Amino acid sequence: MKKVYLDNNATTPLDPEVLEAMMPFLKEDFGNPSSVHQFGRTIRVKVEEAREKVAEILGADPLEIVFTSCGSESNNMALKGIYKKNCNHIITSQIEHPCIIETCQFLETHGYEVTYVSVDKYGTVNPQEIEESIKENTLLITIMHGNNEIGTIQPIKEIGEIAKRHGVYFHTDAVQSVGKVPTKVDDLGVNLLSLAGHKLHGPKGIGAIYIRKKTRMHPLISGGHQERKRRAGTENVPGIIGFGKACEIAQREMENELKRLTSIRESLFKGIMEKIPHVQLNGHPTNRLPTTLNMSFKYVEGESLLINLDLKGVAVSTGSACSSGSLEPSHVLLAMKIPPEIIHGSLRFSLGRFNKEEDIDYVLEVLPPIVEKMREMSPLWEEKKTVMGK
């Protein structure tokens, strides 16, 4: 059976070039980069080279990059690690990844105050609402760059200017956007930015946080002197090497991939619109990650579409991977004021470097009959047909 992986926002397949770069560090090059002897010293050089590659995709100084274990850790560090005297108010949005929202909720139980700004029907925050939420004690604004469920890209540059004007720290969760669209920290105007290896065809278990010079941070993990005391623990060397390679490749391929993925994503969108009635796009029509297409199929359950597509070898997702398994409607789609019954019919198709146009052809072949079959079985569809007088 054909296998088509369209769940790249959950995680991406490892690029073979990345695996090749990592192999020596899983085998003979095992030294601890903190060791003074040559086993350690040779590894230290390689780790620092990888740091340069991660810094490059962000237009940052390598000294501003701290390796972590994942995107969630980077986001936790941004929120729990930042401090400024007498400031304990955080501004975020209603559509952040759960690792931001739940960290905010945790901080609220520890005396912090959090404002969750709203989004419009495309899932875009309003910079003006953010500016109006700033108070005397505002410590940090954290707004994600590209949303993982709908792909909508937030006006980070504008928010960055506001944050700067008010002397407030600004963090962006760019886990989903790094390597897919430009993410230079000076263009975005951020003090802090999170990224993760496995979302850009690198390995799992490695992430990073960009910390702009002079930003004061507590470490999340105290102990050794690793990462200039900002994150203790022996480095995940194979992960770091793979992450560096993944950033190098993503940087090299970005311009072409942006065009190519946008084009095949649009083929999928147009094909669905042509072949299947009663569907809608969720997310911004154009200002969106090239990898992401979220659509609602009315009168069917996204869950059963997912299972039936899986039986045909096609992997997609309903809402966020982190919230699937529960039938809670996606908090992102809810914040966009999409009615719950339409949210329940939503599917997320997310593309990556290894998807080809023929993957889309296959989905367009198998999906329409599945939707039709599901609708035939749906009481909602029966009602709809009666109302339409069919």
Ligand X SMILES: *Cc1c(COP(=O)(O)O)cnc(C)c1O
Dist. CA 235–CA 35, nearest whole Å: 12
Q: Of 125 and 272, which has the nearer Cβ to ligand X?
A: 125
Of residues 161-200, which lie at the interface with ligand X (CB under 6 A)? Answer: 173, 175-176, 196, 198-199
Dist. CA 301–CA 303, nearest whole Å: 5
Q: Of 168 and 289, which has the nearer Cβ to ligand X?
A: 289
Minimum CB–partner distance for residue 373 and ligand X (Å): 32
Dist. CA 202–CA 179, nearest whole Å: 11
Minimum CB–partner distance for residue 215 and ligand X (Å): 20
Segment near ligand X (CB under 6 A); pick from 68-76, 81-89, 223-231, 292-300:
68-76
Minimum CB–partner distance for residue 203 and ligand X (Å): 11
Q: Of 134 and 211, which has the nearer Cβ to ligand X?
A: 211
Segment near ligand X (CB under 6 A); pick from 66-74, 110-118, 254-262, 302-310:
66-74
CB 188 within 8 A of CB 52: no
Concerning whether 87 is annotated as a catalytic residue, the answer is no
Minimum CB–partner distance for residue 171 and ligand X (Å): 12
Long-range contacts of 120-124, Cβ-Cβ distance < 8 Å, separation of 24 or more: 120/336, 121/336, 121/337, 122/152, 122/283, 122/284, 122/285, 122/287, 122/336, 123/95, 123/147, 123/150, 123/152, 123/282, 123/283, 123/284, 123/332, 123/335, 123/336, 124/152, 124/154, 124/155, 124/284, 124/287
Determine the distance from the C-alpha atom of residue 67 to the mean position of all C-alpha atoms in its chain, rounded to a whole number. Answer: 17
72 is a contact residue toward ligand X (CB under 6 A): yes
Residue nearest to ligand X (CB): 71
Of residues 272-331, which lie at the interface with ligand X (CB under 6 A)? Answer: none
| Choice among 70, 99, 247, 322 that is catalytic | 322
148 is a contact residue toward ligand X (CB under 6 A): yes
Q: Of 99 and 250, which has the nearer Cβ to ligand X?
A: 99
Q: Of 76 and 226, which has the nearer Cβ to ligand X?
A: 76
| Rg of the chain, C-alpha, whole Å | 22
Dist. CA 376–CA 382, nearest whole Å: 7
142 is a contact residue toward ligand X (CB under 6 A): no
Among 6, 18, 77, 144, binds ligand X (CB under 6 A): 144
Query: How many chain residues are in contact with ligand X, going by CB under 6 A?
Result: 16
Q: Which of 70, 86, 22 is nearest to 246 (CA)?
A: 22
Q: Of 195 and 300, which has the nearer Cβ to ligand X?
A: 195
Helix axes 98-108, 71-81, angle to 10 degrees: 30
Minimum CB–partner distance for residue 40 and ligand X (Å): 27
Q: Residue 94 corresponds to which amino acid?
A: Q
Minimum CB–partner distance for residue 377 and ligand X (Å): 33
Residue matched to tokens 């599901």: 374
What is the helix (H) or strand (E) element at residue 207, kind and residue range? strand 207-211
- x/- letters, 330..349, toward ligand X (CB under 6 A): --------------------
Determine the distance from the C-alpha atom of residue 212 to the mean position of all C-alpha atoms in its chain, rounded to a whole number. Answer: 21
Q: Of 163 and 196, which has the nearer Cβ to ligand X?
A: 196
Among 6, 31, 58, 71, binds ligand X (CB under 6 A): 71
Three-state secondary structure call for residue 194 = strand
Q: Of 92 and 308, which has the nearer Cβ to ligand X?
A: 92
Among 123, 203, 207, 283, binds ligand X (CB under 6 A): 207
Minimum CB–partner distance for residue 237 and ligand X (Å): 18
97 is a contact residue toward ligand X (CB under 6 A): yes
Sheet of 65-68, strands arranged across:
65-68, 207-211, 192-196, 169-173, 138-142, 89-93, 113-117
Dist. CA 200–CA 48, nearest whole Å: 20
Active site residues: 322
Q: Which residues bind ligand X (CB under 6 A)?
A: 9, 70-72, 75, 97, 99, 144, 148, 173, 175-176, 196, 198-199, 207
